[in-house]
Amino acid sequence: MKFNIQSLFTVKKLSWFLVFLSLTCLLASIYTFNRIRQIDEFNQAISSGKTPKTDKQSFEAKFATALYLAKKERYKEATLLFTQTLPKANASQKSAVNYNIGNIFFLRGLAINGTNNTVRDESEYLIRQAKTAYQTSLKNDNSHWDARHNLDRLLTMLPGTPTPGVGESDTPGLIMGNIPVGLP
């Protein structure tokens, strides 16, 4: 039996193949055009602070909504929404989320602290939370320069970690207690 290649490429078969190919390309073009329109509407809704009609459960929608809430000083809701985005995020996105959580704590700490360069009590707690968030951000993406800058700023504000038992006179204090110093 002789195989004839011309029987595979008849005009009728080639015509049907080209019709199928053109319909497939047309459907792909319509889908792509529709998706581009949806993305444009999504971006417009997010930039105006409205809820998007599509992709409501996507990382980008939740992140943008949390960022909008943070800008409107609704910090608790923003922090909760940022935290909800972490399980679906990749390393770069986790870095951005932790950076923004750090910013929220930092801004709250600065608002409570006022114009003082030293921090106390609740303000110190918030600044330490910001420090932890910035460090986590840098663990996820070490090239995040904004997180490095903010971490450097708040490290200058935090008091140094005191050594237990050492006071201003550098005497042993609590560590040594009642143990006599020197020879008997």
For 50-67, what is each residue's pLDDT tens digit?
777 777 778 888 888 888
Asked whether the beta carbons of 68 and 87 are under 8 A apart, the reply is no
Q: What are phi and psi of 24, to 5 degrees?
A: -60, -45
Residue type, 33: F
pLDDT bin (cut points 50, 70, 90) of residue 179 is low
**Residue 169: both structure tokens together:** 């006179």
Q: What percent of the chain has pLDDT over 70?
A: 80
115 vs 137, higher pLDDT: 137
- Say if residue 138's pLDDT is above 60: yes
Q: What percent of the chain has pLDDT over 90?
A: 27
**Residue 53 C-beta-side C-alpha neighbours within 13 Å:** 7
Predicted model pTM? 0.65
What pLDDT is stored for residue 182 in this prediction? 55
CA angle 149, 154, 155 (to 5 degrees): 95
pLDDT bin (cut points 50, 70, 90) of residue 173 is very low
List the alpha helices (DSSP H) in the chain.
11-47, 59-71, 75-85, 91-113, 121-140, 145-157
For 14-37, what is each residue's pLDDT tens digit?
899 999 999 999 999 999 999 999
In the numeric block, the tokens 């700023």 are attached to 153
Residue type, 160: G
- Say if residue 71's pLDDT is above 60: yes
